[in-house]
Amino acid sequence: MPPYEQVRVHYASAISNRELAVGAKLPTVRALAKDLGLAVNTVARAYRELEEAGLVETRGRAGTVVSANGDNNRERIRAAAAQYATMSAELGLTSQEALEIVRAALRP
């Protein structure tokens, strides 16, 4: 896994597991790059991808913080999952069949 992806996955996981709260400040790109021994552009790419996913917001000189969108996104997914579960039951699918469909959809 490329270094930028390792950084992205680390922070995405910390945000989704609520180890980092909404509004928590991430290290600066330069500081994290130095701490990890990575190029500044590598960390910047990871932060860009986190921002594109709606997990963080970059606020100029104020830095990069965990976005409230992450919580909103989780709520949207939960609502969609509940709707899917209801529809699956109405169509007569077993739980196993419904899960297999989801697993197939999640595969790259």
Q: How far is CA 86 from CA 24, 61, 74, 97, 101, in A?
A: 36, 46, 18, 13, 14
20: Cβ–Cβ under 8 A, 6 or more apart, which residues?
11, 14, 26, 66
Residue 50: pLDDT band (50, 70, 90) is: very high
Confidence of residue 61 (pLDDT cuts 50, 70, 90): confident
Helices (H), the chain: 3-16, 29-36, 40-52, 69-90, 95-106
| pTM for this predicted structure | 0.66
Question: pLDDT averaged over the chain?
Answer: 90
Rg (CA), the chain: 18
CATH fold group of domain 3-67: Arc Repressor Mutant, subunit A (1.10.10)
Asked whether the predicted pLDDT for residue 106 surpasses 90, the reply is: no
> What are the residue ranges spanned by the domains of the chain?
3-67, 70-106
